[in-house]
Chains A and B, each alone.
Chain A
Amino acid sequence: MECRSSVDIFTEWDIVAARQLGRNEAKSIGFGTVDQARITTAISELARNIYLYAGKGNIKIERTYDNNQYGITIIASDEGPGIADVRKVMNDGYSTSGGLGAGMPGVRRLMDEFNVQSEQGVGTTITAVKWLR
């Protein structure tokens, strides 16, 4: 069972739109306020990374159902420069833009599942899932 909606990321306004979409979706799936904040924050981090490092891309929000469990899936994809060393960017504090370097490791901790697929010169797709408990 799947139900998806998405936001194209071009400007910082789209970052706001993506996290509002995510929060509404999380709320309607039945996530509590703490998980709503986790999901909203994760979307914000991924959308801002697209905006900062790839220029443009897309955030998809899917309602997921698997193994008798409901959840929400965030798919952040772009055709930007890609990530040269995925291990490095998962370290707290690593940033190439003078940021806090908290986005990637933070999203991994905020969500239950986290997967990065990236190829230099091709782009990046990050999939993150939160399960409803």
Chain B
Amino acid sequence: MNMRIPILKLGDILIVSIQWELDDQNAIQFQEDLLNRLHSKNARGVLIDLTPIDFIDSFIAKVLGDVINMSSLMGAKVVITGIQPAVAITLIELGIRLENVMTALDLENGLDKLQIELEA
């Protein structure tokens, strides 16, 4: 089940939609792929959409947090969209805060937010 997460490019924004449950291998692969694409495409923004994801454990949260921090280090702004209510609740109960990251309700709002941020 080595399914790579597709990374799309729209202007200078990379868009990732996480469509299926991440296992460890896919998660690490995703981290590498995204940072490589950021570098090679000179992208300035990253949007990660989590709409289909119905749970996040501390391992996935760490991968996400690391991706966010690494992307910021490379000068890119990150926005996370589509966190389901159940996921938001369990993340807080786990004691996990995703810091240094913008969030938005859905893809459209997320793109708007990023665009504004990049123009500023």
Contact = CB atoms under 8 A, between A and B. Distances in A.
B94 A106 contact: yes
Interface residues of B, number: 23
B23 A45 contact: no
Nearest to B94: A106
Contact of A37 (B58, B62, B90, B96): B90
Interface stretch (A11-19, A55-63, A77-85, A113-121): A11-19
A38 B90 contact: yes
Interface residues of A, number: 25
Interface stretch (A65-73, A97-105, A124-132): A97-105
20 contacts: A12-B25, A16-B21, A23-B55, A33-B54, A33-B84, A34-B89, A34-B90, A36-B86, A37-B86, A37-B87, A38-B86, A41-B94, A44-B59, A100-B61, A100-B62, A102-B94, A106-B58, A106-B95, A109-B95, A110-B90
